[in-house]
Amino acid sequence: MKNRFPIPVKLAIVIVIIISASCQKVVNIDLNSASPKVVIEGFVSDQPGPYIVKLTKTVNFSETNVFPPVTGAFVTISDNVGNVDTLKESLAGIYKTSTLQGMPGRTYTLVVNDEANSQTYTAVSTMPFPVNLDTIKNEHQGIFGNKQALYAVFPDPAGIANYYAIFTKVNSVSQNQFSSADDHLRDGDTIKMRIPLDLNSNDQSPLNPGDTLKVMLESIDKNVREYLRLLRQLNNQGGFQSAPPANPVTNITGGALGYFSAYAVRSKSVIIP
């Protein structure tokens, strides 16, 4: 299962309460004495399934990062052309599709019926069309040109609002870093996005000659872009030690936290010389 937004586990409880999406539903939380909230993390892509919906519950801010799974829920994902898939619980709190195939341009609706607590949660996301990743560009930066910077270069489709995210793998291992962007003021231009990589203890790239770098350019909806923007802002402000926003928002109705995203992805792999 790919972690859609890979970040250190100690940030997990902070992250799930800062998600921004179209519903703009305000959720006020006391981190030290909050009642458990259901957290929903789900996605559909244009790649072959199965797709995953993960259901857990929050814990208080001072507790250990062990998030109880929500088991026995009835979970469905449907699209706007009549396809419906009932997800099966493969592991505790992990629900997988069996027949659904994501298609760009379609709108997907997630319904989670938590029968144990008599709660129903819903979310909606429309999958953008994919954008091809043209090239991976290597640039040397710094005063002496001794720092390596990698960029993804791709053409932005003109006339529509586009939102992007980049995730990476090194030798098939997912990196914790990500980047996101939109085409505001760059509509129809060639866009160059910095490729994010985990840095080692010496603040250097983890790449070595012979390594395989896989870059995944995801076309995401506006709500997920805003989520990633807020997450980056949180990291820049000190991560776990910073106070999270007081009024987080979510695209999931019914009182749950989390996100549901439909995205399209194009990737390119290179071997580091």
pLDDT tens over the chain, length 273 residues: 455 544 333 344 444 433 333 444 444 445 455 678 888 999 999 999 999 999 998 876 555 667 889 999 999 999 999 999 999 999 999 999 999 999 999 999 999 999 888 899 999 999 999 999 999 998 765 554 456 688 999 999 999 999 999 999 999 999 888 899 999 999 999 999 999 888 765 566 778 889 999 999 999 999 888 877 876 776 555 433 333 443 346 788 998 888 899 999 999 999 988
Are residues 66 and 148 both part of a single domain?
A: no
Regarding whether 89 and 37 lie in a shared domain, the answer is yes
Whether 193 and 212 share a structural domain = yes
Same structural domain for residues 83 and 166? no
| Residues 83 and 24 placed together within one structural domain of the fold | yes
- Short-list 103, 239, 221, CA closest to 165: 221
Instruction: Tell me the backbone φ, ψ of residue 160, rounded to 5 degrees.
Output: -135, 155
CA 63 to CA 151: how far, in whole Å?
Answer: 39
**Residues 111 and 180 both lie in one domain:** no
Residue 235: φ, ψ to 5°: -60, -40
Both tokens assigned to 40:
């929903």
Domain that holds residue 171: 135-219
The answer to the question of residue 2 being in a domain is no
Query: Are residues 25 and 69 located together in one domain of the fold?
Result: yes
| CATH code of the domain in which 209 resides | 2.60.40
Q: Write down the residue that tokens 């319904």 correspond to.
A: 111
Q: Are residues 70 and 147 in the same domain?
A: no
* Count: domains in the chain: 2
Whether 268 is covered by a domain: the verdict is: no
pTM: 0.78
DSSP state of 108: E
Are residues 122 and 146 both part of a single domain?
no
DSSP single-letter state for residue 233: H
| In a domain? residue 60 | yes
